[in-house]
Structure 1
């Protein structure tokens, strides 16, 4: 994770005058080029890091600079601590605990008790998923391609080689946002569906992507894939439906029925999502979706008759 590496570099430079870029690269298991990109990021954030030439040269803070121990408040330190500990539930990072210890050293004040902990891992744990996320994180930081076999929502398997750009947590699932060399465009891959994941030696140049604009949302909501769904549900499920679809999408008709009108991409994933409600909802429109659900339920009935 770039954030914990940046924090660790700051703490290292605060605690020792100068350090070689190669030494930092080996410490964090990244390339020297990545370290210099990190230094540029820190400089842009206002941390005056310079490169010294000569026998005793290296990377260091500008002479006379001291970090104010109050640059981070106690509440801010606690927020960073919660974030790092929570993220560590999903991938292995040997540097996270070191960063946490160094953050404690910024101030001698006792930190407040942790009132919240975010556990991103599934129930029962998933060491395989955690290993995949860790591998992908390293590939992203070193800008190397990854190779895997992928099963889409329809169960179709294909072989992929991609340029990984970022890991995304969306809807309680982990995804890889990457440029697919086969499709020649960015795609979102569900990490749990990846098989035989390997890291290549092939390096790539990162493309300009505005991650803060969530480009995967725009691809998911492509007009050609969208269908408008209308369904009814019982009053006992009102709170759950309002929370899931938004109170603004829930109305009540003249007959007293609760109705939801929403838009979703029509694919196999949509039908599995709707069937997951079992008898809690009834799809009214569009008719072809209602008919397909009827057919799927008939097939299920044949299996269990």
Structure 2
């Protein structure tokens, strides 16, 4: 991730005093052009870095600039270590390893044990229990393409099983609701699109680079829109799926019927996604109201049964 690389570059400069662009590029597995952009970003952020030309030259932090190692509190360092450590489980690369090493260099010896303990109190494991074997490979390839501004090509499976071949400029990796996406400019659609990694196959990184265009960040918060679209339906569930139903609503939506069953006022939108949720509960869920949703569930269940009757 770029922010981790920037932190690492600052730490390296504080440690080595002067280092060349190519050496930094090799260290972080990016192009020298990317390093020059990173140096500009660091300068803009207020850390004064100058370039020394000639033999033995390179980048260095101006001598009058000092970083006090006590600038970070124990809570600050624990939070940084926690975030970087958990992120390294899913996004691999030397920049994360270097970032962790450099952040640890800020930890005073007398506080090291306490800070490391606090950093390990929360574990965020974003890898799936089971899933697409190409997921990590695709994630790593897109991460490299992001850093080097390289075009990527892939086959994409969209709604209704439609497969298309795409060429895109990657701009951002997104983790949303347990799934990885990337936001990119699609050359076929001539617009920004959010692509889900699990629907991507035959991903290739092209040799061609691109000049970044004005980036449109994806809309990721649909809370207000969903509130206007959602209605409540009444379902009757067996207690054995209560934990699964709680993924979509809260305890306040539940009313006990007997020792085995609950009535749930379930948030619902009339589309394929929500009908599939109800179907996934199987025979332990019955839609009671409204009648047209109940009838639609009956129709879908009948269609499924017809397949098995053949």
TM-score (norm 1): 0.83
How many aligned residue pairs are there? 293
Structure 2 unpaired stretches of 5+: 256-261
CA contact (8 A) 1:229 1:283 kept: no
Moved more, 156-165 or 20-29: 20-29
Alignment correspondent of 2:37: 37
* Contact 2:149/2:169 (<8 A) preserved: yes
- The 2-side partners of 1:261 and 1:124 are apart by 28
8 A Cα contact 2:81 2:100, kept in partner: yes
Residue aligning to 2:97: 97
1:172: how far off? Answer: 0.7
> In 2, distance between residues paired with 1:283 and 1:58?
72
For 2:289 and 2:169, the matched residues in 1 are separated by 42
2:74 matched to 1:74? yes
C-alpha distance in 1 between matches for 2:291 and 2:186? 34
| Offset of residue 231 of structure 1 | 1.5
Does the CA-based 8 Å contact 1:143-1:164 persist in structure 2?
yes
- RMSD (Å), alpha carbons: 3.1
CA contact (8 A) 1:92 1:131 kept: no
Cα 1:100–1:257 change in 2 (3 A) is closer
Match for residue 248 of structure 2? 244
Contact persistence 1:140–1:164 (CA under 8 A): yes
Q: 2 CA distance for matches of 1:23 and 1:286?
A: 68
Structure 1 counterpart of 2:125: 119
After TM superposition, give the deviation of residue 119 of structure 1 in Å.
Answer: 0.2
Q: State the 1:251 CA deviation.
A: 9.2
Of 7-16 and 126-135, more deviation after overlay is shown by: 126-135
Partners of 2:179 and 2:191 lie apart in 1 by 22
What is the CA distance between 1:290 and its match in structure 2? 5.1
Of 282, 285, 297, 2:287 maps to: 282
Segment of structure 1 superposing worse, 25-34 or 129-138: 25-34
Answer whether contact 1:20 1:58 (CA < 8 A) is retained.
yes
Following TM superposition, by how much is the alpha carbon of 1:200 offset from its aligned partner in structure 2, in angstroms?
A: 0.6
So what's the TM-score if we normalise by structure 2? 0.81
Matched residue SS, 1:303: helix
Instruction: Tell me, in whole angstroms, the C-alpha distance in 2 between the residues paired with 1:152 and 1:276.
Output: 21
- Matched with 2:140 is 134
Distance of 2:298 and 2:95 partners within structure 1: 53
Unaligned runs of 5+ in 1: none
Structure 1 residue 149 and structure 2 residue 155: aligned?
Answer: yes
- The separation in 2 between residues aligned to 1:93 and 1:24, in whole angstroms, is 14
Q: For the structure 1 residues 171 and 164, does the alpha-carbon distance in structure 2 shift closer, same or farther, using more than 3 Å as the test?
A: same
Partners of 1:96 and 1:73 in 2: CA distance: 21
